[in-house]
C-alpha cells in the first residue's frame, strides 16, 4: 500500500470519507425514518415522535390483509426458486461441462434478460400473459419472475460447476455409479454451497422484484412489494404510520433472507455476479 | 451396403459424430432453460415489435406517429434523459475515488453490506422512506435548518429532486459495488511499479489506473444508466408523475394498462429500449477508443 503524506492528499482523503459518511448517514436516515414512524403515536415536525406504540402493526396487518398477502408472496417466491433452481442448475451444468456450436449465442440469450431492464420487456410480456389467460393469476406472476431468475441461477452456477474437477465424476463412473447416483451422491454435495447462494439470492430478488410482479399481478396474486406500492400510492387513505408498519414488515421479510444469503456470498457479488473470477 | 470411407474405416455413427462436436446427453440439459427463456423472453420481445407495428387503426407506423407527434408523449424521452444522465454521471464519477479508497480498507465488508441494503430493498421501499426523510418536516430539512443552511424547509418530494434522490440512493451503491469489483481486479503491483518509477498519485491514477479501468467503467455506466432510464415506481411515488418526472416508463405503462392500448404500450416500450440501446452503443463506442488489454501485472 502506498501512502502519500502531503496536505493535499490528506484533504482529499478526508473529502472522500466525508462523502461516504454523508451517504451512509442519509441512507440510515431513510430506513430509520420508516422504522421510527411505524412505531410512533404522533410524529409532526419534531426530531422524535411524541410517543411509541406497536398498534400500527396490528392495524396494518388487518387493513392490508397481510396474512393472505404474505402467504401468496411466499408461494410465488418459493415456486420461482424451485423451478429456476431445477432448470437453472441443469442448464448451467451443460454450459459448464460441454463446448458446443452455438454456446456463445445461448449464453447471450441468458444474459439479455439480466441486462435489459424489466419494464422494457415486461409490457409486451404482460400483454402476452394476459392473452394466454394467466395474467393476473398466480402462474402469470411466477412465469414473469422466472425470466430474470433462470438466467441469474445459470450465471451464478456456471463458475461454481466449472471449478469442480470433472475427473471426480469420471472416477465415480469408473466405479459403476449410475447417472442418478453421480448426481445425488457426487455433484449435489459439492454444488450445495453454490446452489444455496444462488437460490437465496433469487429468493431475495424475487421478493423485491417490483416491476414484473406489478405488471402481471391481479388482486389475488399480489406480492408484498406490490401491495406496499399501492399503499404508498394511495397514501392519505390510510395512516402514514400504518403504511410504514407494512414497509417494515416487507423490510424484515427481505432482510432475513439477505442476511442468510450473505453467509454464502460477498455483497459485491450481488451486483457484480460471477464476472470477476480470480485467475486460477 | 454401408458407405465405407476412403480409409476403409466405417463412418462413425451420428451419435459419435455429434459427441465429437460436444453434443451429447449432457448438452441436452441446457434445453429446458433455453426453451423457457425463448418462450418467456425472446418470443414476447418479438411479439412486442410485431404488436407495435400492427395498430388498431391506421398504417403500420401509426403508434410511432402518435408518440412522436404528441408533445405529452415525446417529451417523456427528454424528461427521462434529464433525470437519468446527470444521476448516472454523478453516481459513477463519485464511485471511482471512493472505490479506490475502499480498496485499501481491510474490513470492507461492513460498508459493502450497508450499501447493498438499498439495492435489495428496492425502489418502492426507498421511495416510502424518502417521502418521510426528505419531506418538509423530515430529518433532512430539520438538519439543514439546524445548521442554518436554510431558513424554511425546501421542497424535495413530489418533484424532480425526489426522484433524483431515490436514483442516487439506489444507483450509487450499484455503481460503487461494480466499480469496486473492477478496481479490486487491477493488480496492485502495477501501482507499486508506477510509484517506484516516481509517479505521483495523480499521475498513477490518470496514466495507469484509468486506462485499465475504462472498459469496466463503460459497462458500469451502461448498466447504471439503463436502470436509471427505466425508473418507474419512484417517479410515480416521489415525483410529479403528470409533470416534470413523467418518465417514459410511465407513458408506456399508462398506454398499455390504463388506456388498454397494448399496441401503443409495446411501441413506447420499444422506443424506450431503443433509446437505452443508443446510449449504450455510444458509450461502448467511446470505450473502444481507449486501451484494451490485461489488467494483471504478471504473465498470463
Residues 110-149 of B with CB under 8 A from A: 111-133, 137-140, 142
- Name the pLDDT band for B153 (thresholds 50, 70, 90): confident
**C-alpha to C-alpha distance for A214 and A207, rounded to whole angstroms:** 12
Reference B214, options A123, A220, A98, B222; nearest CA is B222
Cβ of B223 within 8 Å of Cβ of A128? The answer is no
Q: What is the mean pLDDT of residues A238-248?
A: 90
Share of chain B above pLDDT 90, in %: 43
Q: What is the mean pLDDT of residues A226-253?
A: 90
Range scoring the smallest mean pLDDT among A2-11, B70-79, B287-296: B287-296
Share of chain A above pLDDT 70, in %: 95
The set of cell numbers assigned to A133 is 389467460
Find out whether A155 and A114 touch, Cβ atoms under 8 Å: yes
Residues of chain B positioned with their CB less than 8 A from the CB of A77: none
ipTM above 0.90, yes or no: no
Q: What is the mean pLDDT of residues B283-298?
A: 72
Cβ of A101 within 8 Å of Cβ of B21? The answer is yes
**C-alpha to C-alpha distance for B146 and B150, rounded to whole angstroms:** 9
Q: How many residues are given for chain B? A: 300
Give this prediction's pTM.
Answer: 0.87
Q: What is the mean pLDDT of residues A220-225?
A: 91
- Name the pLDDT band for B7 (thresholds 50, 70, 90): low
User: Which pLDDT score, from 0 to 100, does residue B103 have?
Assistant: 85
Q: What is the mean pLDDT of residues B60-74?
A: 90
Q: What is the mean pLDDT of residues B270-290?
A: 88
Phi, psi angles (nearest 5°) of residue B205: -70, -50
Residues 47-106 of B with CB under 8 A from A: 47-48, 51, 94, 97-98, 101-102, 104
- Name the pLDDT band for B2 (thresholds 50, 70, 90): very low
- Name the pLDDT band for A278 (thresholds 50, 70, 90): very low
Range scoring the smallest mean pLDDT among B80-84, B249-253, B290-294: B290-294
User: Which pLDDT score, from 0 to 100, does residue B167 have?
Assistant: 94
Q: Tens digit of pLDDT for each residue in B35-57?
A: 999 999 999 999 999 999 988 88
Pick the residue of B125, B173, B177, B275 with the most A CBs within 10 A to test the interface with A by mutation. B125
The shortest CB-CB distance from A208 to any of B121, B139, B142 is to: B121
The 3-state DSSP class for residue B4 equals: strand
CA A218 to chain centre: 21
User: Which pLDDT score, from 0 to 100, does residue A254 have?
Assistant: 92
Alpha carbon of B211: minimum distance to chain A alpha carbons (Å): 18
Q: What is the mean pLDDT of residues B196-202?
A: 86
Bridge partners for B160 per DSSP: none
Judge whether residue A10 has pLDDT over 90: no
Q: What is the mean pLDDT of residues B152-181?
A: 91
Residue A49 backbone class (left: φ over 0; alpha: ψ -120 to 50; beta: rest): beta
Closest alpha carbon within chain B to A142: B40
Q: What is the mean pLDDT of residues B2-15?
A: 64
User: Which pLDDT score, from 0 to 100, does residue A122 have?
Assistant: 92
User: Which pLDDT score, from 0 to 100, does residue A276 have?
Assistant: 41
Measured CA to CA in angstroms, residue B180 lies from A146, A280, B121, B168 at distances of: 29, 21, 21, 17
User: Which pLDDT score, from 0 to 100, does residue B81 have?
Assistant: 93
User: Which pLDDT score, from 0 to 100, does residue A4 have?
Assistant: 66
Cβ of A251 within 8 Å of Cβ of B28? The answer is no
Q: Which residues contact B161 (CB under 8 A, 6 or more apart)?
A: B134
User: Which pLDDT score, from 0 to 100, does residue B295 have?
Assistant: 64
**C-alpha to C-alpha distance for B95 and B162, rounded to whole angstroms:** 21
Fill in the DSSP letter of residue A239.
-
Q: Tens digit of pLDDT for each residue in A69-78?
A: 999 999 999 9
Alpha carbon of A28: minimum distance to chain B alpha carbons (Å): 9
The 3-state DSSP class for residue A40 equals: strand
User: Which pLDDT score, from 0 to 100, does residue A273 have?
Assistant: 54
User: Which pLDDT score, from 0 to 100, does residue A279 have?
Assistant: 36
Find out whether A247 and B153 touch, Cβ atoms under 8 Å: no
Cβ of A232 within 8 Å of Cβ of B237? The answer is yes
> In this structure, is the dihedral angle defined by the CA atoms of residues B48, B50, B55 and B60, taken in order, positive or negative?
positive
- Name the pLDDT band for A36 (thresholds 50, 70, 90): very high
Q: What is the mean pLDDT of residues B246-270?
A: 92
DSSP B227-247: HHHT--HHHHHTS-TTTTT--
Mean pLDDT value across chain B: 87
User: Which pLDDT score, from 0 to 100, does residue A106 have?
Assistant: 92
User: Which pLDDT score, from 0 to 100, does residue A1 have?
Assistant: 53
User: Which pLDDT score, from 0 to 100, does residue B5 have?
Assistant: 47
User: Which pLDDT score, from 0 to 100, does residue B292 have?
Assistant: 65
The 3-state DSSP class for residue B9 equals: coil
**C-alpha to C-alpha distance for B89 and A180, rounded to whole angstroms:** 52
The shortest CB-CB distance from B121 to any of A9, A87, A254 is to: A254
Cβ of A118 within 8 Å of Cβ of B28? The answer is no
Cβ of A27 within 8 Å of Cβ of B117? The answer is yes
User: Which pLDDT score, from 0 to 100, does residue B45 have?
Assistant: 92
Q: Tens digit of pLDDT for each residue in A160-210?
A: 888 888 888 889 889 988 878 888 888 888 888 889 889 999 999 999 999
Mean pLDDT value across chain A: 88
Q: Tens digit of pLDDT for each residue in A126-163?
A: 999 999 999 889 999 999 999 999 999 998 899 888 88
Closest alpha carbon within chain B to A247: B125
When comparing pLDDT for B218 and B8, which is higher?
B218
Element (H, E) at A251: helix A240-261
Judge whether residue B243 has pLDDT over 70: yes
Reference B42, options A95, A206, A113, A134; nearest CA is A113
Amino acid at each position: 500500500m502506498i501512502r502519500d503524506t502531503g496536505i493535499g492528499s490528506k484533504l482529499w482523503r478526508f473529502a472522500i470519507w466525508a462523502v461516504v459518511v454523508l451517504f451512509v448517514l442519509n441512507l440510515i436516515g431513510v430506513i430509520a425514518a420508516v422504522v421510527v414512524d411505524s412505531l410512533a403515536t404522533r410524529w409532526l415536525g419534531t426530531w422524535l415522535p411524541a410517543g411509541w406504540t406497536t398498534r400500527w402493526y396490528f392495524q396494518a396487518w388487518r387493513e392490508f390483509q397481510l396474512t393472505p398477502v404474505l402467504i401468496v408472496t411466499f408461494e410465488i417466491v418459493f415456486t420461482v426458486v424451485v423451478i429456476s433452481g431445477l432448470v437453472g442448475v441443469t442448464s448451467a451444468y451443460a454450459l459448464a461441462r460441454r463446448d458446443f456450436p452455438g454456446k456463445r449465442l445461448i449464453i447471450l440469450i441468458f444474459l439479455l434478460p439480466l441486462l435489459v431492464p424489466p419494464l422494457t420487456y415486461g409490457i409486451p410480456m404482460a400483454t402476452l400473459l394476459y392473452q394466454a389467460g394467466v395474467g393476473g393469476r398466480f402462474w402469470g406472476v411466477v412465469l414473469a419472475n422466472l425470466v430474470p431468475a433462470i438466467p441469474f441461477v445459470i450465471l451464478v452456477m456456471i463458475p461454481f460447476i466449472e471449478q469442480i474437477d470433472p475427473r471426480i465424476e469420471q472416477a465415480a463412473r469408473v466405479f459403476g455409479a449410475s447417472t442418478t447416483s453421480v448426481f445425488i451422491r457426487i455433484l449435489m454435495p459439492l454444488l450445495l454451497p453454490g446452489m444455496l447462494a444462488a437460490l437465496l439470492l433469487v429468493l431475495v430478488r424475487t421478493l423485491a422484484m417490483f416491476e414484473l410482479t406489478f405488471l402481471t399481478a391481479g388482486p389475488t396474486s399480489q406480492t408484498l412489494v406490490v401491495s406496499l406500492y399501492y399503499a404508498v400510492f394511495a397514501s392519505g387513505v390510510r395512516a402514514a404510520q400504518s403504511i410504514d408498519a407494512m414497509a417494515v414488515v416487507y423490510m424484515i421479510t427481505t432482510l432475513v433472507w439477505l442476511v442468510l444469503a450473505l453467509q454464502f456470498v460477498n455483497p459485491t457479488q450481488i451486483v457484480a455476479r460471477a464476472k470477476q473470477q480470480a485467475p486460477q | 451396403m454401408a458407405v465405407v470411407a476412403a480409409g476403409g474405416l466405417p463412418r462413425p455413427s451420428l451419435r459419435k459424430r455429434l459427441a465429437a462436436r460436444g453434443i451429447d446427453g449432457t448438452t441436452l440439459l441446457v434445453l429446458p432453460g433455453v426453451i423457457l427463456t425463448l418462450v418467456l423472453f425472446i418470443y414476447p420481445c418479438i411479439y412486442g415489435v410485431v404488436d407495435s407495428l400492427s395498430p388498431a387503426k391506421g398504417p403500420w407506423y401509426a403508434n410511432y406517429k402518435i408518440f412522436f407527434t404528441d408533445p405529452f408523449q415525446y417529451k417523456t424521452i427528454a424528461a427521462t434523459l434529464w433525470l437519468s444522465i446527470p444521476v448516472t454521471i454523478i453516481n459513477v464519477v463519485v464511485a471511482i475515488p471512493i472505490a479506490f479508497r475502499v480498496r485499501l480498507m481491510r474490513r470492507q465488508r461492513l460498508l459493502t453490506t450497508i450499501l447493498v441494503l438499498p439495492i435489495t430493498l428496492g425502489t418502492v421501499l426507498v421511495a416510502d422512506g424518502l417521502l418521510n426523510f426528505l419531506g418538509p418536516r423530515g430529518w433532512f430539512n430539520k438538519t439543514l435548518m439546524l445548521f442554518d443552511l436554510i431558513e424554511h424547509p425546501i421542497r424535495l418530494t413530489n418533484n424532480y429532486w425526489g426522484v433524483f434522490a431515490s436514483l442516487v440512493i439506489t444507483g450509487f451503491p450499484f455503481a460503487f459495488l461494480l466499480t469496486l469489483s473492477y478496481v479490486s481486479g487491477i493488480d496492485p503491483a502495477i501501482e507499486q511499479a508506477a510509484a517506484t518509477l516516481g509517479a505521483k498519485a495523480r499521475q498513477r491514477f490518470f496514466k495507469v489506473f484509468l486506462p485499465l479501468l475504462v472498459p469496466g467503467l463503460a459497462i458500469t455506466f451502461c448498466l447504471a444508466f439503463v436502470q436509471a432510464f427505466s425508473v418507474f415506481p419512484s417517479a410515480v411515488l416521489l415525483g410529479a408523475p403528470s409533470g416534470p418526472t413523467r418518465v417514459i416508463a410511465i407513458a408506456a405503462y399508462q398506454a398499455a394498462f390504463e388506456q388498454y392500448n397494448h399496441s401503443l404500450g409495446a411501441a413506447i416500450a420499444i422506443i424506450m429500449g431503443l433509446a437505452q440501446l443508443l446510449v449504450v452503443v455510444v458509450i461502448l463506442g467511446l470505450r473502444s477508443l481507449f486501451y484494451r488489454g490485461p489488467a494483471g501485472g504478471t504473465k498470463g
